[in-house]
Amino acid sequence: MDRYWKNASGCYDPTLAKVIEKENSIEKADKKARKKQVHDTIQEIKNILKDRDLELIGRIELKDIRTNKKYK
**pLDDT tens-digit series, residues 43-72:** 999 999 999 999 999 999 999 998 899 988
Closest CA to 60 of 47, 48, 42: 42
* 31/37 Cα distance (integer angstroms): 10
Residue 17 above 90 pLDDT? Answer: no
Residue 1 above 60 pLDDT? Answer: no
pLDDT of residue 19: 86
Q: Per-residue pLDDT tens for 26-38?
A: 999 999 999 999 9
- Residues comprising the chain, all counted: 72
